[in-house]
């Protein structure tokens, strides 16, 4: 299970309003599951809440990693332009 400190860092790394994006990604990836509400996703990502769902946590981690890759690519492009 995920450590409370790691969950706090994950929550800080994700942009405001990411629950709807995570929800969309889960619906596309797992169409057979009933959709999670954005409120439930926010509660799972809250380090102080005891609810934990591995599907939501995995997708949140994947989303964060994709955002970091896009950010690094943009920074690289800007650096190359300014060189």
Domain of 54, in residue numbers:
4-82
The total of structural domains in the chain comes to 1
Percent of the chain surpassing pLDDT 70: 99
51 band by pLDDT with thresholds 50, 70 and 90: confident
CA angle 1, 26, 65 (to 5 degrees): 65
pTM of the model: 0.88
Q: Which of 59, 24, 30, 27 has the alpha carbon at shortest distance from 45?
A: 59
The C-alpha atoms of residue 69 and residue 72 are separated, in whole angstroms, by 5
Q: What is the pLDDT of residue 22?
A: 97
The C-alpha atoms of residue 14 and residue 43 are separated, in whole angstroms, by 14
């Amino acid at each position: 299970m995920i450590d409370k400190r790691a969950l706090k860092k994950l929550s800080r790394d994700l942009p405001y309003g990411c629950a709807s994006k995570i929800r969309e990604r889960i619906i596309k990836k797992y169409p057979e599951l009933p959709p999670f509400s954005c409120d439930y996703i926010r509660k799972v990502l809250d380090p102080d809440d005891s609810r934990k769902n591995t599907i939501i946590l995995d997708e949140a981690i994947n989303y964060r990693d994709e955002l970091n890759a896009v950010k690094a690519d943009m920074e690289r492009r800007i650096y190359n332009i300014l060189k």
